[in-house]
Amino acid sequence: MTAQLEQLDLGTLEPGYNQDPHPVYRKLREVPVRPVVLFGLPMWFVTGYEEAKAALADPRVKHDRVHATPEVRERGPWLFSTEKLGFNRYMLALDPPDHTRLRTMVNKVFTPRRINLLRPRITEIAVDLIERARPNGSLDLVEEFSYPLPMTVITEMLGVPPDEDEPVRAWATAFSSVGAQSSDQIVAGFIKGRDYFVEVFKRKQALVDAGGVDTEKADLLTALAAVHQGSDRLDVNELLAMVFQLLVGGFETTANMFSNGVLALLQHPDQLELVRNDPSVRLNAVEEIIRYDAPVKNPWFRFTVEDVPLGDAVIPAGSVVAISLAAANRDPRRFADPDRFDVTRADANQHLGFSHGPHFCFGAPLARAEGEIGIGELVERLPDLRLAVPADELTYRPSPSMRILNRLPLEF
């Protein structure tokens, strides 16, 4: 086992890793900061909670691959999202001050008020999806609820008409398809979405240039086209990257949260009854779902620009660092009985599922609202909800970063 762990090919490390990575993470946490090989590259893998939290906030641990060594820049899997796809100025791949500039602008339009105003509409969408499925007595939660709910919310937020959402879906799902589709298929999905949004931006920019746009009332694309910091505005490539990040964060990860969360509830009937009967526990249940089975296992890689002491290790300058949020969220040094699913856990909201530090997920308030409302409506309106297949028949999509159920057949 030790020899395998040192090589750390997550696809072959354990036969059941893709189904349940936590036995592997449990072993890895014995050395919470350790050198490994992943994607054929030597790097450091961080699995401990305090170590992960420190690394996520450390300014010496950079996101922008310009800080990687020349060899790493030419060999790493991040090439896929830059050279092939035509943009690399999205916030996840930037550091201050570039990241700060973009974050300041998006914070001006992605406001708590905007999210609060969406709550009635989120409820409408969730109820509509449930009622569509009701006559059948069954549904595939992934295809009929988990995906369409956040997709409808984010496309409406962006101002995309319902009859134009196909290229948006192609773009949103391409990111999570790495490892499940050919590179040509993934790039085609990106190109379809990119070309669509370039045309949309032209229309939105013309509207902004005509004057009179109220960014609080406008759709998100129009608001992003209008937002500025002094004379500074987002250019087209920055807008594209911003929308891509909104789609990945606002659609794919939220969809996986729904599926993983409902499965966890069905596998823990006592917790399901708490969520069904007590609306006041639902928001905390969302936090526990993210802690227990995070939709993002391992966020993208980082690069050290100095020697970085972390835990009992010192990560040398010029290293690649991979931080496992999923492993950190079950660290027994931070969470008591971490493998127990408890929707009343008092410190569930201390999970790292939304990251930490400057790159804390700006879409977290939206994800929390969607989870609280969507899961609440589902379990309350379908009191006999249950798995339609044995749990061991459920499968997960191969993905280096995401935790994605292929299907979740349910009956009620």
- At 332, list the tokens: 């027994």
C-alpha span between 32 and 43 (Å, rounded): 13
Q: What is the pLDDT of residue 245?
A: 81
Which range is most confident: 17-31, 41-55, 222-236?
A: 41-55
Task: Name the domain count of the chain.
Answer: 1
Question: How much is the pLDDT for 371?
Answer: 98
> pLDDT tens digits for 65-111?
889 888 787 776 655 555 555 566 678 888 999 999 999 988 988 89
pLDDT, averaged across the chain: 88
DSSP 214-241: -TTTS-HHHHHHH-EETTEE--HHHHHH
**Composition of the chain by helix, strand, coil, percent to 5:** 55, 10, 35
Q: Which domain holds residue 165?
A: 2-411
Strand partners, 33: 46
Write out pLDDT tens, residues 332-343.
999 999 999 999
Query: In sequence order, which residues have a C-beta less than 8 Å from that of residue 388 and are 6 or more positions away?
Result: 138, 409, 410, 411
**Tokens representing 370?**
């969607």
Q: How far apart are the C-alpha atoms of 205 and 236, rounded to whole Å?
A: 10
**Tens digit of each residue's pLDDT (9 = 90 or more) over 207-222:** 888 887 887 789 999 9
Q: Say whether pLDDT at 113 is over 50.
A: yes
pLDDT at residue 10 in the model = 57
Residue-wise DSSP of 29-51: TTSSEEEEEETTEEEEEE-SHHH
- Is the CB of residue 293 less than 8 Å from the CB of residue 329? no
Asked if 299 and 354 count as a contact pair (C-beta separation under 8 A), the reply is no
pLDDT at 6 (0 to 100)? 56
Q: How many CA atoms lie within 13 A of 290 on its CB side?
A: 24
Cα(300)–Cα(215) distance, rounded to whole angstroms? Answer: 31
Buried (b) or exposed (e) across 156-174, using 16+ Cβ within 10 A?
bbbbbeeeebebbbbbbbb
Q: Is the pLDDT of residue 390 over 50?
A: yes
Mean pLDDT of 21-45: 89
- Specify the CATH number for the domain of residue 301: 1.10.630.10
Helices (H), 210-329: 220-226, 236-247, 253-267, 269-277, 282-292, 325-328
Decide which of 44 and 83 is more confident: 44
Cα–Cα dist 181/103, whole Å? 31
Reported confidence tier of residue 57, pLDDT bands at 50, 70, 90: very high
